[in-house]
Structure 1
């Protein structure tokens, strides 16, 4: 019976057809590709194929005479590389991951560990805003200087004539504060002042999460059998860290607002009491005269 390729396989070139005919009998049929065909079915370029081979990311082809023969294992590897590049990995990162896979790690477990440690902590989705929308939210406070400062702080990101916010909730909160009369420049200054402190808190909490890896060699991945349980442990720690942040932030806000507003109310009360006791307006902090000690 002739060895017919599956219906979804690419039309073989003359070289590939000749190479397939040269296959020994008794070997399971497989899709075979020249380098041009491999690049086409893998949505990449011949130049990339060569570069990945040079870096050891892609196994060299089987040589049959002067022609290199690739198969579906090369297609799978190239699709994996494309997927990882789209997720933001560098070629050096991918090289480490592929080395780990070759050493017996399950790639899904490795990616799960990476997501557990480095994935987004917020469930918010970025949202694009036109300049008109920002003006509607912030009014005339959305000056070019304020927008430029928000971009510098990473609160907004330019996208052509529009802006993207990574946290629409925070942007809406800022708009509400601005409508309540808080100057946008002062609000942005407060964010800039507070950010180093938040960064220090975040580092401490991330250290708690990553410390789950301290029992392993810092330059190596955990043993494959340990990775799933480790991923589960890290996912359990993450929400607890967020609870700790919220609790401590609430405590700090209560202390700060209590101290500050308490002092402010005391000053107002002292002024009112002073006025009612007949003290001149120029001396608002003077209260009623204390009775002489007996």
Structure 2
């Protein structure tokens, strides 16, 4: 098992896209848990990075820092949805019909909570994963329609919400890993060439052109490879089941 990532405050700022000053402000306001101190250096982990990303998404939705703090404190206490949002979240029942969460851009927080009722910390996880984001105290917005649709389809097909969310989170992590690989290659080639150049206008234009290509190529390459592998694995799966069918069937 890979060791959990560790960050100094500077590397956490780089990874999260916020400034060191902002991170210190979050700490002072109680939004960010204290780091693990080793000597005079504080070390942050994945939990801190996810926390910073959640804070950013909440702020983007117009929620004030005080409101963000209240919401995070409620999550940290393990409060249920009614405690966090101040609304009554009805318990799921056999007679209740699942809500189509993707049919509308905005969904009720209670509907989202009902769908994720068996996923521990599900509300926080879908926000961290960028699948949904709070719009206000009682409403959530679909932030990534493809991931949200996949999550809903997995649940509709009978996979427990907790397992479905695990799969979607892993898929997102795999895609992020692929993206980072392409960015590393871009840095090793185009960026390195630019750094060695005279930074003339034509050098800047060439870098911009290569950056445009670098933004679109990973999706094309990954899509082609995934389609190829999916077709291959599906063919193998179907062939294996057909071979195992009793004589006279099919």
With structure 2 as the length reference, what TM-score do the two structures score? 0.46
Which structure has the greater CA radius of gyration? 1
TM-score (norm 1): 0.40
